[in-house]
Structure 1
Amino acid sequence: MILTPNQKVTFTKIEERLKRSLIEKPVIIIPQHDLQQMEYEEAAISTIFKGIEKAYGVEIVFDEENLKKCELTMTMKNETLFEN
């Protein structure tokens, strides 16, 4: 099993298997100097999700067709993934 940043593995003795999952507080994994401030004004949600995926090294699965008209204004600075 290969883990990526912000992932953990848990061994369940009863099932005798390893389970991969996100850590409790995922953090930004790219260096601060490479991270443009994540500030969006009326941006497409798909654009915001791509920025979050890159910054935290996670995959966000969503229905792009259903959310294509969804826009959001937000700013993220050094928060863990679940702080917003």
Structure 2
Amino acid sequence: MILTDVINQLDNLDSDDTIYAKKPWTPDTEVVIATEPDDGGLPDQAAKINAEYFIEIFLAKEFLEGWLSSFDQKPSIKDQCLRLIQYAENDA
């Protein structure tokens, strides 16, 4: 799965899960969706692909909903990915 797949399916994903992504983060970055372990480390699936914490699903949903509400026309999935990456790197 890649980040654009996640953005396409965001409304159907469990808000309690977290996105883990391989760096460098791009719309084509390989990702894993998993529940964050109780100890705060990486889930096994994320560690297997050398992914890092990216953002929780609920934060991604909230951020994109707020950002998208400022547009008359919905930005492309790629543009949404790029904006979410910027948010994850600088603000989340």
Bin of the TM-score, shorter chain as denominator length: under 0.3
Provide the TM-score with structure 2 as the length reference: 0.24
Point out the structure with max Rg over C-alpha: 1
Select the structure that is richer in helix: 2
TM-score using structure 1 length: 0.25
Structure with the higher fraction of residues in strand conformation? 1
